[in-house]
Structure 1
Amino acid sequence: MSSRTKIIVLHMKEIIYTAVFAVLGIVLILLLLFMFLPEREKHTDKEAKYTPGSYTSTVTLGSNALEVEVSVDESRIHSIRFSNLNESVSAMYPLIQPTMEELAEQIYAKQSLENLEYSSDSPYTAQIITDAIREALKKAETTK
């Protein structure tokens, strides 16, 4: 009974190199897949909520009518501003522009009119402006 024993000599360096190159090959394939596959929608915010454009609503302060202009694309609010604010109105109502800027920053961040924080200096002014923005956004909403 003579058995012939075969001895295979493997160098540890060759095994390590092979494993490293196999891992790098897999990483390269995964990277190429992620780069060239079409992107899926990550958020449901990408649904078309608005008809793109600029929409206005009117705020009446005393005898002055101000237009609040809201610019939107299909899913986001991009700008909110007064379109006809002049110096005499700014002088008569000094808190109107800072209040608009505070509200606009919050709305840009949240993309919603829910849970806005009103300044204690001008809560009524903020409410009037918020109502005007809400009215302009109603005009912008898409009907499904």
Structure 2
Amino acid sequence: MSKTRIVIIQLKEIIYTAIFVGLGILLILLLVFMFAPDKDDSASLDAEKQYTAGVYTSMVTLNDTALNVEVVVDEDNINSLRIVNIDESITTMYPLLEPSLEKIAKQLYSGVDINDIELSEDSKYTQTLLLDAVKATLNKAVVEQE
């Protein structure tokens, strides 16, 4: 005949065991999340500087008058875009020049790529002229990949 054994497990022991198992699982999950490589970190390490920080200029000729388009960049984005030596006669003869540059600048400041700038129909040619000057200026600032 076999002897029947009766095992008595108290409720306290079951609760303690469940708490320790839960803490163990929580600790393992915490360690996995802490030491697993993060996708954002690897992307930021791969992304290098887009521009060399500085002030760059490019010349645009309008009616025998040279205008300098100035672009201020830091490593990742464009900070400022303006026409440096514009005088009153140019603003009078070309009234869409400054508003067109402001529209381009607003799009560049918001993070739109230089090739994806939308040109408005009312000043398309002026914006194209300025956009070409801005592209030429940004080509001077682009960091060359090795």
TM-score class normalised by the smaller sequence = 0.7 to 0.9
Q: Within 1, Cα distance between the matches of 2:128 and 2:82?
A: 15
Q: Within 2, Cα distance between the matches of 1:83 and 1:16?
A: 74
Amino acid aligned to 2:121: S
Q: Within 1, Cα distance between the matches of 2:88 and 2:14?
A: 79
CA distance 1:49–1:27, shift in 2 (3 Å): same
Aligned counterpart, 1:47: 48
Please, which moves more after superposition, 79-88 or 60-69?
Answer: 79-88
Q: Does the 8 A contact of 1:76 with 1:111 survive in 2?
A: no
Q: Within 2, Cα distance between the matches of 1:87 and 1:12?
A: 89
| Structure 1, unaligned runs of 5 or more | none
Aligned counterpart, 1:124: 125
What's the secondary structure of 2:105's corresponding residue?
Answer: helix
What's the % identity of the aligned pairs? 38
Q: Within 2, Cα distance between the matches of 1:104 and 1:15?
A: 64
**Higher helix content, 1 or 2:** 2
Cα offset for 1:108?
A: 2.7
Correspondence list, 1:23-62, <5 A: 26=27, 29=30, 33=34, 40-43=41-44, 46-62=47-63
CA distance 1:136–1:12, shift in 2 (3 Å): same
What's the secondary structure of 2:66's corresponding residue?
Answer: strand
Q: Does the 8 A contact of 1:45 with 1:75 survive in 2?
A: no
Cα displacement string for residues 18-57 of structure 1 (whole angstroms, at most 9, x for unaligned residues): 2797289549946x938xx9x7243588322322211100
Correspondence list, 1:75-94, <5 A: 75-94=76-95
CA distance 1:82–1:51, shift in 2 (3 Å): same
Correspondence list, 1:7-26, <5 A: 7-10=8-11, 14=15, 18=19, 22=23, 26=27
Q: Within 2, Cα distance between the matches of 1:73 and 1:64?
A: 29
What's the secondary structure of 1:70's corresponding residue?
Answer: strand
Q: Within 2, Cα distance between the matches of 1:91 and 1:16?
A: 84
Amino acid aligned to 2:122: D
Q: TM-score scaled by structure 1?
A: 0.74
Count of aligned pairs: 141
Cα offset for 1:60?
A: 1.5
